[in-house]
Amino acid sequence: MKADLLKRLFKAIRSEPPSKVNVLLASIVEEERRKGHVELARQLAQILERSSQPSPEDLAPSGFDTSERSFKELPRSRRSNAPLVTVVPPQLIRHQMVLREDIERRFARIEREYAARGRLSKFGLKPRKKILLFGRPGCGKTLGAERLAFNTGLPLLKVRFDSMISSYFGESATNLRSVFDAAMEKPCLLLLDECDFVARSRNEKNDVGEVPRVVNTLLQLLDDYDAPGLLVATTNIEESLDRAIFRRFDDVFEIPKPDSPQIQELLRLSFSALVVSKNIKWKELSERLNGLSAAVVVTVAQSAAKLSILDGRDTISLAEIERAIAELEETRGLQG
């Protein structure tokens, strides 16, 4: 069990009502299940069920009521009535990440500042709240936002750009405003995922219509943002992000591709439910996979694990990993 989860459990037992403790116990069950400890997860879930009957809201990661109902007025597009945000069910929020130490520290710092927001405010200081994550696809930008939601206990609200951008003059900007209003009302982590259009649009000076309008509104809303929760934006674009965008965020950093030590950790983590054969030369293997995104490394590991399980074994050896790498090379090359 990860240290942060343990700490939260202890704190909850000390100071939270039983329903909130149940919430954490449920996330521990989920974590064990995700790790592949299916039998342990089943037994833990059984114990939980016997001792309490948590309501769906109780399954939230911590302190907040994250049911869709609790956001009484989920912002909706005025014309189509389509929801402008999705509330990610707390039991689906993932938090396990493999990161270079300096990047891990940047995430941890955001979480620590948020946890200390009360203490900071006594000194007239605010935690860093507006975060921009950038980097190549599959290195953990979306996962990073989930992890921040998990570790702060904030409900995760994902902005739906599909329903946000309306063809009606000026309506997209109104839509975006109502999303920010919702984030003012109740603490949450507002996720603007893959908002590449912000960076792109500023380079296309002749562009007219809704997108530049939304970009301008977004920049203005970012300037004024002082909501109780966090805002995380992500983009794959790095080179064309200009300073005007950077300075609107409290923290901007890249999530890089994993280096060889992180690749090793990703592989080991993916194989944690299996017996790992001694014939695997981790260092050599991780160096061969260097240059791939974390997502591709995880895919290779998972397909190797599946090959082994389908063959009726619970041991992973170099043979399955080699087969998984060969399959990947065949389908898309090893360029990550």
Ligand X SMILES: Nc1ncnc2c1ncn2[C@@H]1O[C@H](COP(=O)(O)OP(=O)(O)O)[C@@H](O)[C@H]1O
Residues that bind ligand X (CB under 6 A): 97-99, 137-143, 266, 294-295, 298
Partner whose binding site includes residue 165, from ligand X, Mg ion, none (CB under 5 to 8 Å by kind) = none
Instruction: Find the shortest distance in angstroms from Cβ 35 to ligand X.
Output: 13
Answer with the entry of Mg ion, ligand X, none that 143 interacts with (C-beta below 5 to 8 A by kind): ligand X
Look up residue 75 and give its DSSP letter.
-
Shortest reach from residue 245's CB to ligand X, in Å: 18
Q: Which of residues 74-133 bind Mg ion (CB under 5 A)?
A: none
**Does position 66 bind Mg ion by CB under 5 A?**
no
293 lies in the binding site for Mg ion (CB under 5 A): no
Shortest distance (Å) from residue 174 CB to ligand X: 28
Residue among 106 and 213 whose Cβ is closer to Mg ion: 106
Beta strands in 43-153 (DSSP E): 85-87, 130-134
Smallest distance, Å, CB 302 to Mg ion?
A: 18
Using CB positions, name the residue nearest to Mg ion: 142
In the complex, the smallest distance separating the C-beta of residue 137 from Mg ion, rounded to whole angstroms, is 7
Residue whose Cβ sits closest to ligand X: 140
Q: Which is nearer to ligand X, 114 or 134 (CB)?
A: 134
Encoded tokens for 167: 């063809």
Q: Where are the beta strands (DSSP E) in 164-262?
A: 189-192, 230-235, 251-254
How far apart CA 147 and CA 266 sit, in angstroms, is 16
Residue 298: contacted member of ligand X, Mg ion, none (CB under 5 to 8 Å, by partner type): ligand X
What does the block give as tokens for 79?
Answer: 């014309």
Amino acid (one-letter) located at 103: I
Nearer to Mg ion, 241 or 274 (CB): 241
Closer to ligand X by Cβ: residue 61 or 138: 138
**Rounded to 5, what percent of the chain is helix, strand, coil?**
55, 10, 35
C-alpha distances out from residue 309 to 41, 165, 327, Å: 20, 45, 17
Site for Mg ion in 127-166 (CB under 5 A): 141-142
Calculate Rg over the CA atoms of the chain. Answer: 22
Bin 200: left if φ > 0, else alpha if -120 < ψ < 50, else beta: alpha
Residue closest to 178 by CA, chosen among 96, 323, 73: 73
> In whole angstroms, how close is the CB of 302 to ligand X at the nearest point?
9
CA distance 285 to 332: 19
Q: Which residues bind Mg ion (CB under 5 A)?
A: 141-142
